[in-house]
Chains A and B, each alone.
Chain A
Amino acid sequence: MTIGLYHYVLLSGLLFALGFFGVLLRRNTLVIYMCLELMLIASTLALVAFSRFNGTMDGNVFVFFILTVAAAEVAVGLAIIVALFRQRQTVQVQDLNHLKN
């Protein structure tokens, strides 16, 4: 049983789709943020798989940078969510519609 590139690409697509459905269907901002992280991880999995089967190094280095940027992004995003919670006392997205009207 050999595992090829398409297995990894299909798995990455499934993981991305699951993250996307999470972003669509959940109402809690923190869980939406976790699902965003899932989508990011799915894309890095595809990058690593392409890099491996292409025999080049660039995808792996790119994933290295993505991990760094994701760490910074999570810290800033969670700080924004905490600041939002201080202002509004909620993190449910249906209550956070003050820009709408």
Chain B
Amino acid sequence: MSGFMFYILSALTLVCAVGVIVNRNAVNAAMCLLLSLVGVAGLFGLLQAYLLAVLLVLVYAGAVVALFLFIVMLLDVQGGARKPFGKVTAIAATAALALMVAGACTIAGRPEITDAQAAADAIGAPLKNYAYQLFTTYLLPVQVVGFLLLIAMLGVIVLSKRFDGLEDIK
């Protein structure tokens, strides 16, 4: 059952990721990104990281994709002629594909690690563990991330607002 769900969700994720790449329409690409993220959230659920699955749907599908759609519709940029690929792009794509195949071959040769030994203690599942970790070991990163969010908010305001009196900020 778990294997069946894994294959369904990974097929959804990969097909929608291909849809992000090949779609000419940016709105459709954002919708495909949304479905792909839902597939990844399901995979997080299979990995018993339920909090992360919920957070992924909330933050990414709720906020990030909505922001993308908003910007796409605000700017209203569609299509554009697809130019042929340059030589550097072709070389980089070929090298990436070769690395990908080499990695897959390396993985396929290894003995499989299944979750038989780890099935007893799904340590990431309970919310209490997150809270304990976040307020003991990772207390400083929590503060830093909060400060980062504040800085990002100020930066977005400065970037997107027109300051008519100030000539420096352009």
B residues 124-170 with Cβ under 8 Å of A?
A: 124, 129-130, 133-134, 137-138, 141, 145, 148-149, 151-153, 155-156, 159-160
How far apart sit A48 and B44, CA to CA, in the bound complex (Å)?
7
Beta-carbon contacts of B81-100 to A below 8 Å, as 1s and 0s? 01101000100110011001
From B37, B71, B129, B160, A30 is in contact (CB under 8 Å) with B71
Cβ B67 vs Cβ A75 within 8 A: yes
**Residues of chain B lying within 8 A (CB to CB) of residue A70:** 59-60, 64
With an 8 Å Cβ cutoff, the count of chain A residues facing the other chain is 72
From A2, A4, A30, A55, B75 is in contact (CB under 8 Å) with A30
How far apart sit A38 and B56, CA to CA, in the bound complex (Å)?
13
How many residue pairs link A and B with beta carbons under 8 A? The number is: 224
Q: Is chain B's interface secondary structure helix, strand, loop, or mixed overall?
A: helix
Cβ B36 vs Cβ A17 within 8 A: no
Binding site for B on A (CB under 8 A): 1-11, 13-15, 17-22, 24-28, 30-31, 33-35, 37-38, 41, 44-45, 48-49, 51-61, 63-65, 67-76, 78-83, 85, 90-92, 94
**Residues of chain B lying within 8 A (CB to CB) of residue A64:** 51-52, 55, 130, 134
For the complex formed, measure the closest distance between the CB of A60 and the CB atoms of chain B, giving whole angstroms. 4
Cβ B33 vs Cβ A69 within 8 A: no
How far apart sit A52 and B43, CA to CA, in the bound complex (Å)?
12
Chain A residue nearest to B18 (CB atoms) is A18
How far apart sit A54 and B64, CA to CA, in the bound complex (Å)?
30
From B18, B33, B63, B72, A71 is in contact (CB under 8 Å) with B63
